[in-house]
Amino acid sequence: MAIIWEPTLDPQASAWRSIARQVAQDHVAPKAAEIDRNQRYPRETVELLYDCGIATMFLPQEYGGSGASLMAFCAVVEELAQACASTSGIVATLQLGAWPLLRAGSETQKETYIGAMARERKTISFALSEQEAGSDPSSMQTLALPENGGWRLRGTKRWIGGSGECAYYLVFAQTALGQGRRGIAAYIVDADAEGVSNAAPEDKMGMRGTVNSSVHFDTWVAAEAMIAGPGRALKLALEALNVGRVVVAAQANGIALAAFSAAAQRATARTAFGQVLIDHQGIGFQLADVATRLSAGRMLAYETARNFDTGKDVALIGAQAKLFCSEAAHDAVDIGVQVFGAEGFVKPSLVERLYRDQRATEIYEGTSEIQRLVLARAIHAEFNEEGA
Ligand SMILES: Cc1cc2nc3c(=O)[nH]c(=O)nc-3n(C[C@H](O)[C@H](O)[C@H](O)COP(=O)(O)OP(=O)(O)OC[C@H]3O[C@@H](n4cnc5c(N)ncnc54)[C@H](O)[C@@H]3O)c2cc1C
């Protein structure tokens, strides 16, 4: 019996995980240290992810995808994250960019953009955050003003994943300053359009094989580019993040699994004071805690994905999964470095890279504090109702 709980996957999810495992072993893991060191977006890996179907597995079959479940997608992300967190981040970014269109796009919009993503490898990046609007996107300053029957988009988005590599941006913009969430609409914008430019990629602490930068918009889009109108778009962004959070939970679990496995191997091989490290209670107990939280985190993430696949609302359980798994991964990589001692502190070292990569899982798609905020509000609402 394995120490970490294993999910029972349906045949479809199991087949996807096998594909991911093979790609991870043959291609992704051997490149992980290099793309981290050189902060290089691995375009050849993205091509490979398209070739094997992973890049489009979550898109419906009618648009050229495979219609895979969230459970299958989480299994793939977890598997890739064990080999290279950045590569799992690239895959997660593809899904996040496409999701709002799948949810709210018209048939024509889906045929055009989702079809292009599946058949022409034209990816979509999710552009919500701004310098002054991260945790609180309703305060965004990017404007969408009516012009010549369409819209003029003006403003700068920050930290945008896949920027400079994607074909389209899914841009959230304010149509009426002062209206907060009620004024926010969403548009699909061609990355090559006049007036769209991106800054140099951010020099990140971790996830260095992914690309993030500011994207500046002073561009005109036709009326048909609107994906969701004022009053609907911010809700759509939050719905996309509700799903994205389950994916980040799976990614955090993958990172934690890699750290745990490395630390457990080290602790059973290296001796100090005449016995292997695992037999020193101070180390053995820490690894026991990591294993326990990893089992719990995997149960939470997979069960949340299964709930989503059966049509349930996962906003709250998804927030709990993201919060729990990212913080459990925090402890797993921290203990991983500790078990390796000085070797875990210097490059190149797997646990050193995992330590840096993990940190992003507590920040993007809603920080830990924002997950707690969502949950605290839900507790307030539920118990207030019961008391009333
Ligand atoms: C690697 C990476 C990739 C990203 N990719 C994308 C992308 O593809 N698209 C995109 O749109 N964005 C992206 N982001 C941006 C990300 O979503 C934001 O960084 C995140 O939402 C937090 O916003 P912020 O950085 O502005 O922090 P802030 O909102 O300034 O928060 C700073 C701190 O204050 C805390 N805080 C804020 N409000 C509260 C509160 N009410 N109570 C308690 N604490 C609070 C936060 O939790 C945080 O600890 C990415 C970020 C990173 C790091």
31-88 per-position pLDDT tens digit: 999 999 999 999 999 999 999 999 999 999 999 999 999 999 999 999 999 999 999 9
**C-alpha to C-alpha distance for 186 and 204, rounded to whole angstroms:** 28
The pLDDT mean for the chain works out to 97
Of ligand 1's atoms, which has the minimum distance to the CA of residue 210?
1
pLDDT of residue 1: 73
Kindly tell me if the per-residue pLDDT of 388 is higher than 70: no
Q: State pLDDT tens for residues 93-112.
A: 999 999 999 999 999 999 99
pLDDT of residue 89: 98
pLDDT of residue 177: 87
- Lowest average pLDDT, out of 175-179, 205-209, 268-272, goes to 175-179
Instruction: Answer yes or no: are the C-beta atoms of 369 and 337 closer than 8 Å.
Output: no
Report how far ligand 1's centroid is from the alpha carbon of 62 (Å). Answer: 35
pLDDT of residue 385: 75
Residue bearing tokens 């291609």: 27
Share of the chain above pLDDT 90, in %: 98
State how far the alpha carbon of 354 is from the alpha carbons of 6, 63, 149, 277, 380, in Å.
22, 36, 49, 21, 36
Kindly tell me if the per-residue pLDDT of 387 is higher than 70: no
To the question of pTM greater than 0.85 for the whole model, the response is yes
**C-alpha to C-alpha distance for 154 and 187, rounded to whole angstroms:** 12
Report how far ligand 1's centroid is from the alpha carbon of 204 (Å). Answer: 14
Cis peptide before 201 (omega within 30 of 0): no
Q: State pLDDT tens for residues 151-160.
A: 999 999 999 9
Q: State pLDDT tens for residues 116-155.
A: 999 999 999 999 999 999 999 999 999 999 999 999 999 9
Active site residue 385: no
Q: For residues 172, 359, 346 and 278, what is the CA-based torsion angle, rounded to 10 degrees?
A: -150
Q: Could you say which of 79, 130, 352, 365 is catalytic?
A: 365
Instruction: Answer yes or no: are the C-beta atoms of 321 and 31 closer than 8 Å.
Output: no
Report how far ligand 1's centroid is from the alpha carbon of 185 (Å). Answer: 20
pLDDT of residue 341: 98
| Ligand 1 site-directed mutation target among 41, 131, 132, 135, most atoms within 8 Å of CB | 135
Kindly tell me if the per-residue pLDDT of 300 is higher than 70: yes
